[in-house]
A and B are shown apart, each in its own frame.
Chain A
Amino acid sequence: MVLEVRKPRPLWEILFSTHHTDIGLLYIIFSLTLFFLGGALAISIRTELFLPGAQVFEDANTFNRVFTVHGTTMLFLWVIPFAAGIGNYLIPIMVRYKDMAWPKLNAVAFWMIPVGAALVWLGFADTTWNAYPPYSILRAPGPAAEMWIFGLKILGISSILGAINFVVTILKMKHPDLPMMKLPLFTWSILSTSLIILMSMPTFAAALIMLYTDRLGVSGFFNPAMGGDPLAYQHLFWFTFHPEVYVFVIPAIGMIYEIIPKFSRKPIFSYTSGITAFILLTIVSFASWAHHMFATGMSFTEKTVFMIGTLAAVPASAMHIFNWIATMWGGRIRFKAPIAFVVGGIITFFLAGAGGVVNSAMPLDFLTHDSYWVVGHMHLFLMGIITFAFVGFIYYLFPLITGRMYNERAAMIQFWLMFIGVFLVFVTQHLLGLYGMPRRVVDYVPVEPLIIMNQISTVGAYMLLVGMGIFLFNLIKSAGWGKPANMEDPFGIREKYYDYRRREPHH
């Protein structure tokens, strides 16, 4: 449904709608809002670290709360809802069905997210986004930690409901004339993602309940004083959240598969290898969770098993990169903003992946674990490929959503700011990690290399801030006053665009 900013439909009509485009729109707007809020927290963190000593935050407590909420927001309120939003928009169109399989469930799944978000933001817990016990059960101040637990609980249920809806829509509601092997790769990516969520999320849901009863003191699952094992929580947590990494990245990969062939004006190099790689990633994502715990005193055998499991995920990711480059090879690429962001994303994907392989080598954990290396590595994924692909895809869908074109020049300025910014911030953080700077610290040892690298990192963060400012301005301005788009072929690439005639939001 076209979003009209200047002559909007009544708000209630959008809010109470169960049509997939309206829900998709709500998802996208909500996640973008939380992205900017989380970004504001990130800027405050980087400003604090510009110099050693206290800059922004009076005490470490506030800082700890800020990075906790920043992490939780970016992962659960930006990346996951945004992918779900794009899925809502496109999956019914791609499988040629009138809506999602269960429209009301879809609306329920969305409306749980603001509730979870409110709990997380009003509580402002300081447990870090992974809430390791015993800190989170013994020392973390309540009610913030309880609110965090319930917020995450609600967000988890929401993503399970959304995943069920996607799986059923794709497998059961797809047009009978449309075989699975002709579905766009984006559909396959959402299918893989949803299956991973369905398999992994219940574990974390259980862990959260255990965390809560431990906090109440009625159980001692993770409390060593009561015979529990704190490491059990880490296993449960990472059993959900290592696969969840692929939940973050696979939709981004699917979006890249949408954009690259269109702008290169060439079919995908190998459709089957794309599907194969998705399926491989879905399976292998469950084989590597404990590589987050190499430093907890695991045995040599355990470490070896999980190192192999981690390395096993690499060929599938490498197949995607190969597929993208081979698709572009020999094409006529029109570098509009969407593909510019996608190419930037591929480059950072490679860097982050290479860093990840180095991470997985067991002995190097002594250097990198819980240091800024890890921060840089995982942000290179989340801010690099995932956010880049998402931003590129927002631009790609912009005509479909608003019926107008965004400002190309502003988008390209934003791209260059973000591309350079990402390198300054996160590659520098890898080096900081090698110099031994621990993560989650409000202050650091005032030695010259740390100060200089932190300052480079902060400067990069401000470039990202400017880029994001341009992005926000571009979105709002173009949605209201942009040039009306040619809906058949908004980018002038003579490739098929999505069906924009879905204008019946009422059941």
Chain B
Amino acid sequence: MVSYSALVLILVLIAVLTLLGVNSAAFAQETTERYLSARIEIWALFYRLMVVAFVIGAVVMGTMTYVIWRFRESHPKNRGDITPAAGGGAHH
């Protein structure tokens, strides 16, 4: 339990550190020019977030596709009268 929480903490730290990098890059830009263009900043943020969204989306959709394909009843490995795989489920 403790180790998982530590893991979460570490990931959060990594994210924040990455971010500081992003921060400094953005402010470094400000020192050389007078005005940043709002429209360019907004669209750049949009594209950064789209990259994040599409990467995560690819992972999630890939997993979904795999689950649907592999664990469908008609999959060769699921044929026959096997009992459902043990483990993983909480029997409450």
Does the CB pair A266–B85 fall under 8 Å?
yes
How far in angstroms is the closest Cβ of chain B from A349?
Answer: 10
- Pick the contact of B89 from A269, A335, A350, A367 — CB < 8 Å? A269
Query: Given A330-B71, A332-B73: A363 and B45 within 8 A (CB)?
Result: yes
Residues of A within 8 A of B72 (CB): 332-333, 335
Contact with A along B32-45 (1 / 0, CB 8 A): 00000010011101
Does the CB pair B89–A327 fall under 8 Å?
yes
Does the CB pair A351–B89 fall under 8 Å?
no
Q: Cβ of A329 < 8 Å from any Cβ of B?
A: yes
Q: Cβ of A276 < 8 Å from any Cβ of B?
A: no
Does the CB pair A268–B89 fall under 8 Å?
yes
Does the CB pair A358–B42 fall under 8 Å?
no
Residues of A within 8 A of B68 (CB): 328, 333, 335, 343
Residues of B within 8 A of A210 (CB): none
Band of interface residues on B: 20 to 34
- Pick the contact of A266 from B43, B63, B78, B89 — CB < 8 Å? B89
Distance, CA A328 to CA B69, complexed state (A): 11
Name the CB-closest residue of A to B82.
A332
Does the CB pair A267–B90 fall under 8 Å?
yes
Label chain A's interface by main secondary structure.
helix
Q: Cβ of A321 < 8 Å from any Cβ of B?
A: yes
Contact with A along B55-69 (1 / 0, CB 8 A): 011001101100110
Distance, CA A330 to CA B60, complexed state (A): 17
Residues of A within 8 A of B73 (CB): 332-335
Q: Cβ of B50 < 8 Å from any Cβ of A?
A: yes
Distance, CA A442 to CA B16, complexed state (A): 45
Q: Cβ of A270 < 8 Å from any Cβ of B?
A: yes
Does the CB pair A364–B85 fall under 8 Å?
no
Name the CB-closest residue of A to B89.
A267
Does the CB pair A331–B84 fall under 8 Å?
yes
Q: Cβ of B53 < 8 Å from any Cβ of A?
A: yes
Does the CB pair A363–B89 fall under 8 Å?
no
Does the CB pair A364–B92 fall under 8 Å?
no
Distance, CA A331 to CA B43, complexed state (A): 43
Q: Cβ of A498 < 8 Å from any Cβ of B?
A: no
Does the CB pair B71–A361 fall under 8 Å?
no
How far in angstroms is the closest Cβ of chain A from B88?
Answer: 6
How far in angstroms is the closest Cβ of chain B from A492?
Answer: 11
Distance, CA A329 to CA B92, complexed state (A): 18
Q: Cβ of A160 < 8 Å from any Cβ of B?
A: no
Residues of A within 8 A of B91 (CB): 267
Does the CB pair A347–B61 fall under 8 Å?
yes
Residues of B within 8 A of A355 (CB): 53
Q: Cβ of B20 < 8 Å from any Cβ of A?
A: no
Distance, CA A357 to CA B19, complexed state (A): 18
Question: Which residues from 189 to 225 on chain A have a C-beta closer than 8 Å to any C-beta of chain B?
Answer: none
Residues of B within 8 A of A321 (CB): 60
Distance, CA A269 to CA B71, complexed state (A): 15
Does the CB pair A272–B53 fall under 8 Å?
no
Residues of A within 8 A of B84 (CB): 265-266, 330-332
Which of A270, A271, A354: most chain B Cβ within 10 A? A354
Does the CB pair B90–A328 fall under 8 Å?
no
Distance, CA A328 to CA B65, complexed state (A): 11
Q: Cβ of B49 < 8 Å from any Cβ of A?
A: yes
Query: Given A331-B71, A333-B73, A354-B57: A364 and B49 within 8 A (CB)?
Result: yes
Distance, CA A343 to CA B56, complexed state (A): 18
- Which residues of B approach A to under 8 Å, CB–CB? 38, 41-43, 45-46, 49-50, 53, 56-57, 60-61, 63-64, 67-68, 71-73, 78, 82, 84-85, 87-92
Q: Apart from A329-B71, A330-B88, A364-B45, what are 9 other A-B pairs with CB-CB below 8 Å?
A: A267-B91, A269-B89, A270-B90, A272-B90, A328-B68, A331-B85, A333-B71, A350-B60, A358-B53
- Which residues of A approach B to under 8 Å, CB–CB? 181-182, 264-272, 321, 325-335, 343, 346-347, 350-351, 354-355, 357-358, 361, 363-364, 366-367
A-B contact pairs, 11 of them (CB 8 A): A265-B84, A267-B89, A271-B90, A328-B67, A330-B84, A332-B84, A333-B71, A333-B72, A363-B41, A363-B42, A364-B46
